[in-house]
Structure 1
Amino acid sequence: MKLRSIFTNSFGILISRVTGLGRDVLMASALGASVWSDMFFVAFKLPNLFRRIFAEGAFTQAFMPSFVASRHKGVFATAILLRFLLFLIAVSLCITFFPEPITKLLAWGWDGKQIAQTAPMTAINFWYLDLIFIVTFFATLLQYREHFATTAMSTALLNISMISALWFYMKEDPKTVAYAVSFAVLVGGVLQVAAHLIALHRFKLDGLLLGGWRHRNDTKRDITEETRHFQSLFLPGILGNSTPQISAFVDTILATFLMTGSVSFLFYANRVFQLPLAIIAIATATVLFPAVSKALKNGDETKAYENLNQAFWLLAFLLGAAMLGGMLLAEPIVWLLFERGKFTQAETLHTVTVLQMYMIGLLPFGLAKLFSLFLYASHRHRKAAKIAVYSLIASVTSSLILMHPLGAAGLALAGSIGGWVLFVFTVKEVGTQRFLSIVRSRRSFYFIAVMIPLALLFYFLNGWLVGLIR
């Protein structure tokens, strides 16, 4: 297992997530959990959904196996880039001219006036999707060369752009702040593309794409089968790897039927939840995937599953500690990050319960991401998609049942239930016996021996900290 690459990737993601939290702190201070914060988050929801789907592995896990197997890598890569980009530009133009229908789709519970106010921001934010696809495509090529740092840290550029807008416009009226942040999203996307272009040139991958463009007609017949194979993997890969994002997307829609601020409670709590998930689970999976794909393609299953065994325990200890910390220290965490300006104590308490429900699903979501690598590397994308459907059904059904008695916290708990369903079925597909062989080791005893005193420590620490801040 490539620990150095994992920690490098984790550090880069940590920088991005820390700047993201800084952005959210300023957002909470400038807009609180208000009507305008809800409107911005709804407008940003769709491009942010696809950012997470693309950037956190769904596109890569469909593209990488096909790219590794391709005999004409430059032509194949160029063909995929152009097809996706032309499609996204066409969709973005449609959203620009007709933003209200898609906004209504995102916020069923809002009235016509609120939809009309949000629609222009939806049109602005949607163009970020085109930019983030380019970033993700370039990032996949860099991952093939086992370079992860640029992609891991590039989200910081988006966050810095948004932080700058919030800083300059914080004292303006809420509408001006929301529009300034929307335009800052596009500026951040352009900066991310620029950073990846520099990295591509450094690794001489720009030559691969230019060569693919020049020779696209010479090998057109040769790559037809390769592109068809990719297309057969892409949609199942997107569905199989995007259950948490789709579930969160549905929860945002359902939250518009709840009390004002519910969309914001979910957003702020999910931001905290995503931090350990990204720097531990996503960073590890991103680094391991190219190595696992190459090992399975070469028939070296022993090497592939050695990586699984080592990564499992790394994730179990780190995610287990983060899960306990997030649940037992939720109030001090939310207070420290968000309670200032227009974000009040009451809003903190709402966000705390949502965060605690999200944290129940941290460990299963992280481990499911690890085990799913073997489904994608062995081209079992349809199996992964089928499992994702089970998880999504469990999550949405639970959301509908829990949203009224528990509010936004019920939506977060439903997402965690979906995470456990995803984990159980993914492990079953990869191999229950293989999973049992991993947990039947001395490390299981060490895991329990560490988690119990850690839980007690966090419990008493929470009582002391809450006493100080209240």
Structure 2
Amino acid sequence: MFLKGFLTNSSGILTSRILGFFRDLLTATTLGAGMYSDMFFVAFKLPNLFRRVFGEGAFNQAFLPNFFQARFRGGFALKIAGIFCAILLILSLFVCMFSEPITKILAFGFSQELIESTAPLVAINFWYLLLIFIVTLFGAMLQYKRNFTAWAFSPALLNLSMIIALFLAHNSDSYTAVLMLSYGVLLGGIAQILLHLIPLYRLGFLKLLYAGFKELQSKHVTDRIKSINGSVKVFFKQFFPAMFGSSTAQIASFIDTLLASFLVSGSISYLYYANRIFQLPLAVFAIATSTALFPLVAKYIKQSQESNALKALSKSFWLLTILLSICTLGGISLDKEIIWLLFERGQFTREDTLICASVFSAYLIGLLPFGVAKIFSLWLYSRGQQVLAAKISAFSLCFGSAISLILMQYLGAVGLALAGSISGFILLFLTLHFFGWKPFLRTLWNPKFIILTFVLLLLEFLALLGFKIYIFSL
């Protein structure tokens, strides 16, 4: 069951990333790299940030454990939906009414004329927040039944919708193209919701939500409403720390960009390009593994079957360790070749390739610890320790920022990437400390997987060595 969930999630993420690459390529072709592309990226900034922070784990980490334990699951899910939808609806209307001052905050350096042109785009794109919340809620409910297909492939529909909008806007003027792209975002959100309705209906969740509506309308307020309100209160106590914990990567990226602005020209670009490639194996393997594993671990913890939860963690740990180790060794060995293949053309010179490759290698050092920390943090989330997980993330973020200030003085952009990897090791160490070293060492001690990992890495090393000596090397 876990392997099926992992393969579904990883294939869905990979499909979405490939379509995302074509979307970026088509955006660059249609809008170029100038005023109109800047307008869209500013307008899409908040919805995209919300999707990454809220959709990629934070909501699930608080919702699923409480959904498992709620006595009245329909009423609990419906009340959470009502609260969030009401807040997001009010926020979206507020943004529509005050779109110009909000655009000024998002793009402080824009001229007044450019702000006036961008403001309607900000108002349009902001409605995607409401749509992606509904998608996230439906996806979390489906994960309760270990159904991942709609959740895994729905981001691909967003990219596909934006690609279609760009194709339709190919012969239009640039501002019309940006407008069509913004409406494409909303149509993508609607398509994501519709995709989830099919398995929701098939698995009986629509009936559950209807029963939840009746539970909330019940005149017998005593036990039923108190139980639902109690579950909702516990959810919000866990949600905000989980949201902070999930946003540390975005905060770290923002801090790196800020610090890189004090370095030589091009440093911000090196970090951006290298991090884009680094995020691919992290998403395809680590996020896919944690998404497939979390409902299983949460269910076992709820049923007081900790031994089964540890077995599931052990299997996923070795799967992730093997996959990420292969990616790390391959990426560091072929760092220059990868950057050359993807970016070295036009204004991106050979010198840029060499520097960006070093940044990429520095990021890859932290790939394994970041990925492994993600699955062991599920143990804390399943036990309702979201606050502890958020404190661990905050400490690793602060430690990494302090190291960045030191290393950037000597290594420039490479130092910033290396500091990020060091913070990944701190994150893993603290997560394992609170998980427990004894159960971790029992997970680690598996002679069969240790030998398999060593053999695979040795074979990969020999293959890469032969490739670089006899076939191609930069």
TM-score, length basis structure 2: 0.86
Structure 2: distance between partners of 1:113 and 1:331: 43
Bigger CA radius of gyration: 2
| 2:145 partner amino acid | R
Amino acid at match of 2:367: L
In the other structure, the counterpart of 1:235 is 240
Structure-2 residue corresponding to 1:151: 151
Tell me how far 1:417 sits from its aligned partner.
Answer: 3.0
- Specify the alignment match of 1:160 in structure 2: 160
3-state SS in 1 of match to 2:81? helix
The answer to whether structure 1 residue 137 and structure 2 residue 121 are counterparts is: no
Aligned equivalents of 1:333 and 1:11: distance in 2? 22
SS of 1:216's equivalent in the other structure is: helix
- Give the counterpart letter for 1:454 in structure 2: E
In the aligned structure 1, how far is the partner of 2:404 from the partner of 2:112?
27
Cα distance in 2 for partners of 1:306, 1:151 equals 25
Matched, 1:289 2:290: no
Extract unaligned runs of 5+ from structure 1. Answer: none
Counterpart residue identity of residue 161, structure 1: S
What does residue 389 of structure 1 align with?
Answer: 394
Number of residue pairs aligned between Structure 1 and Structure 2: 466
Residue in 1 aligned with 2:221?
none
Q: Secondary structure at the match of 1:299?
A: coil
Alignment-derived partner of residue 320 in structure 2: 315
Matched, 1:376 2:358: no
Which structure 2 residue ranges, 5 or more long, are not aligned? 219-223
How many percent of aligned residue pairs carry the same amino acid?
Answer: 47
> 1:72 aligns to what?
72
* TM superposition shift of 1:397: 3.3
Helix, strand or coil: the match of 2:137? Answer: helix
2:200 alignment counterpart:
200
- The equivalent residue for 1:431 is 436
Matched, 1:277 2:282: yes
Range 79-88 or range 18-27, more displaced: 18-27
Does the 8 A contact of 1:28 with 1:338 survive in 2?
no
Asked whether the equivalents of residues 38 and 261 of structure 1 are also in contact (C-alpha less than 8 Å), the reply is no
| Counterparts of residues 169-180 of structure 1 (less than 5 Å) | 169=169, 178-180=178-180
| CA distance, structure 2, for counterparts of residue 106 and residue 405 of structure 1 | 33
Q: Distance in 1 between matches of 2:113 and 2:331?
A: 34
TM-superposition CA deviations, 1:118-168 (whole Å, max 9, x none): 655444433222211111100000001110011101111011122223344
Question: Is 1:416 paired with 2:414?
Answer: no
Cα gap change, 1:29/1:47 in structure 2, threshold over 3 Å: closer, same or farther? same
Contact 1:41/1:264 (<8 A) preserved? no
In the alignment, which of 421, 425, 444 is matched to residue 450 of structure 2?
A: 444
Whole-Å separation in 2 of the counterparts to 1:335 and 1:46: 32
> Residues of 1 paired with 2:170 and 2:411: CA distance?
33
Q: Deviations over 1:197-251 (max 9, x none)?
A: 2221222211211221233132323312111111111111222233223323444
Which residue among 236, 239, 244 is the counterpart of 2:249? 244
Matches within 5 A, 1:212-231: 212-218=212-218, 219-231=224-236
Shift of residue 317, structure 1, vs aligned partner: 0.5
Secondary structure at the aligned position of 2:330 is classed as helix
Q: Determine if the alignment matches structure 1 residue 365 to structure 2 residue 361.
A: no
In the other structure, the counterpart of 1:46 is 46
The code of the aligned residue for 1:213 comes to: F
Larger RCO (CA within 8 A; separation ≥ 6): 1
1:326 is the counterpart of 2:331 = yes
Q: What residue number does 1:300 align with?
A: 305
Shift of 1:343: 7.2
Moved more, 271-280 or 176-185: 176-185
Deviation at residue 460 of structure 1 after TM alignment: 5.7
